[in-house]
Structure 1
Amino acid sequence: MVSFDSFLSDKKAWAVLGVPFTSHQVPKPPKIEQPKINEVPNDEEIQEKFEPILDIEFPEQPVINTPALPTGPPIEDKADEIIDFAEKMPAPPGGMEGWNNYLSKNLKYPRQAVQLGIEGTVFLAFVVNKDGSIQDVEILRGVGGGCSEEAIRVLENAPDWKPGLQGGRPVRVKMRLPIKFKLN
């Protein structure tokens, strides 16, 4: 029995089939000439040979152009503008540790959610105003069993936050916040 590989390399077998046997050789890659490396003198030699190309002269009293102050109307504060990101984002009093303490004291697990064994995270969106007050609380994703309503209640009754700052001035910022409900 003849193997397939030996059959393919047998010129007589190809002649029996009426197919001329051709062999191919991979061409050699062209020879690449290496660039000539010229010796570069060290830094000291270069410094000795250096001659300034430009001779720059400065006037004794330089002219200083000061920009003109704007003469147009003052920049208007857009009181109703709500931004998504500020240079300094709003924060609850006491930071996240203070927020967690507030939640542990004020968040009540709804009775219906306990009876039905409902757990999950409620995602809320709200606006922190320039004075730190919270408004426009809405549910982005709720879990049911009264958990969403309890999350809204706790957030609306929360103490005022530190407002967001943009350019050193307080601004209204839209925030997103998860509140997690987990049974022990």
Structure 2
Amino acid sequence: MEAKKNPRVDIYRLKNVFFNFGLMISISVVFAVFQYKTYENATVLDLGSLNKTTNEIIEIPPTTQPPPPPPKIQLPKIIEVANEELILEDLDLKLDIEMNEDTKIEQVTFEEDLETEPPEEEADKIFMIVEQDAAPVGGIKAFYAYVGDQLTDNYPTAAARMNIEGVVYIQFVVEKDGSITQVQAVKGIGGGCDELAIEVVKNSPKWNPAKQRGRAVRSRKVIPIRFILRQK
């Protein structure tokens, strides 16, 4: 016959309750330990009482300084000098001049040639700017008509073969007598055109020389000579 246990006497039926209750107490204790605050023992420093002092602002009235006294001007002392007779010594003065009807006054003449010509300009000086410019005899149109005839009859063969056209700038000097010297090409186009332009200007008729102060002077000129191929 099996013995029956009273369910109220069985202690194992409440083990879950006890376990949960113990767990709750443990957690509460741990939480309380972490939340507990400790303070170190420190002495309280007595700062005493602070006496508040205020600085009063005192208004200082403006002071005016008197202007400096004017500088003392020392007047020069006037020394009286006794009257003394002035003695003229070793002075040969002729103050008395006897004049009569026969006295002649020498006439002062100034040697001055009013027709003095201005000095001549330097013989070798070449002018770039003059009062009256040099020009070809018969005018500039006649000069370029001569140049055109020379270029048409003597157009360089090499330039014609290579179809060279353009402008050659010739520089030269017109002498006092109107002759042409120092002919050179300052800008050329090649193909024999430069040499031909120089020869044409060298052999050109005389020019009227430039004038400065009414006198013939040497002057430098630069003229263009244009080369144009004629279509056959």
* Equivalent residue, structure 1, for 2:196: 150
How many residue pairs match? The answer is 117
> In the alignment, what sits opposite 1:53?
none
In the alignment, which of 145, 161, 170 is matched to residue 101 of structure 1? Answer: 145
Of 132, 150, 168 in structure 2, the residue corresponding to residue 88 of structure 1 is 132
Aligned to 1:162: 208
Give yes or no for the alignment of 1:141 onto 2:141. no
Partner of 1:31: none
Structure 1 74/162 Cα, relative in aligned 2: closer, same or farther at 3 Å? closer
Q: Secondary structure at the match of 1:165?
A: strand
Partners in 1 of 2:160 and 2:227 — Cα distance? 10
Give the letter for the 1:114 counterpart: A
Q: Which has the higher contact order (CA 8 A, sep 6+)?
A: 1
What amino acid maps onto 1:167 in structure 2? R
- Alignment counterpart, residue 118 of structure 1, candidates 164, 167, 176: 164
TM-score by length of 2: 0.47
1:175, 1:183 → 2: CA distance?
26
For 2:140 and 2:168, the matched residues in 1 are separated by 17
| 2:222 paired residue number | 176
1:105 is paired with a residue whose SS is: helix
Distance in 1 between residues matched to 2:148 and 2:164, nearest whole Å: 18
Structure 1 residue 69: Cα displacement: 4.9
Cα distance in 2, alignment partners of residues 136 and 118 from structure 1:
26
Q: Let me know the Cα RMSD of the aligned residues.
A: 2.0
Residue 10 of structure 1 corresponds to: none
Q: Distance in 2 between matches of 1:76 and 1:115?
A: 52
The superposition leaves residues 44-100 of structure 1 with CA deviations (integer Å, 9 ceiling, x where unpaired) of xxxxxxxxxxxxxxxxxxxxxxxx657x99614311000101111111121111112
State the AA in 1 paired with 2:204: A
Q: Is the radius of gyration larger for structure 1 or structure 2?
A: 2
Quote the Cα distance in structure 2 between the aligned partners of 1:73 and 1:102. Answer: 40
The TM-score, its normalising length taken from structure 1, stands at: 0.59
Q: What is the CA–CA distance in structure 2 between the aligned matches of 1:162 and 1:113, rounded to whole Å?
A: 33
2:118 and 2:216 map into 1 onto residues whose CA distance is: 18
Counterpart residue identity of residue 141, structure 2: E
d(CA) in 2 for partners of 1:179 and 1:119? 11
Unaligned runs of 5+ in 1: 1-67
Q: Secondary structure at the match of 1:135?
A: strand
Match of 1:128 among 168, 171, 174: 174
